[in-house]
A = this chain, B = another copy of it.
Amino acid sequence: MAENDKLTEDRIFEAATLVFEEKGMAGARMQNIADRAGINKALLHYYFRTKDHLFDAVFAKLAQKMFMKFAPIFEEDLSLEDKIRFFFREHITFLQKNPKLPGFILNEINHNPQRIKKLMKNIDFRNIWLTILEHHKDELHKYNITEETIPQIMTTIASLSVFPFAARGIFEVVFNNIGVDFDKYIEERKVFAAEFVIKAITK
């Protein structure tokens, strides 16, 4: 039954996602994944032969999910400022729904750097930001942006969006101490980060 197949495979996949996100590759247990999927270990290995197979599948999907969220910004037909606003709004909203993604991906990349190299080998980043430059060349003179600062600005934008989720465990301890709610902080960050960046790059 192809449909039944898909159901079980998906349930395994979802269970594996939860466990891997929570414990990481090294800390995850196949038995734990089987339990969460409501099946037994034998069936788990029937669908995904090895732990590595399963992990690779989960990691590839989640990494794509994460990085694909950076893509739409290159397609939208907006002013540079609105693109920045658009990005923070969309990306942080996405991370609100997938709060464990950043920590998981960073962790696994730090423990196994070539996994990400394989996944990103295809992408031509040089071409991507040449496209952006071209697309916004008319308005660029309005901003404090040079070719040299572009990597700084791009990574700054990524940092502001992703880091609070990766460091959530620390932030929450501090916030708890000074009476700040993490969820509210995140909600406010969508606008704060955008305006912060725009202010910083405006001449």
Contact = CB atoms under 8 A, between A and B. Distances in A.
A116 interface: yes
Given A107-B110, A169-B109, A170-B109, A158 B152 contact: no
Interface string A96-107: 000010011111
A24 B107 contact: yes
Contact of A159 (B27, B164, B178, B180): B164
Contacts of A4: none
Given A24-B111, A177-B126, A196-B200, A106 B166 contact: yes
Contacts of A123: 177
Main secondary structure of the interface of A (DSSP, over half): helix
Interface in A145-203: 149, 151-152, 155-156, 158-160, 162-164, 166-175, 177-180, 185, 188-189, 192-193, 196-197, 199-200
Interface residues of A, number: 59
11 contacts: A27-B27, A106-B106, A106-B107, A109-B167, A120-B174, A125-B177, A126-B177, A159-B164, A162-B163, A162-B167, A199-B200
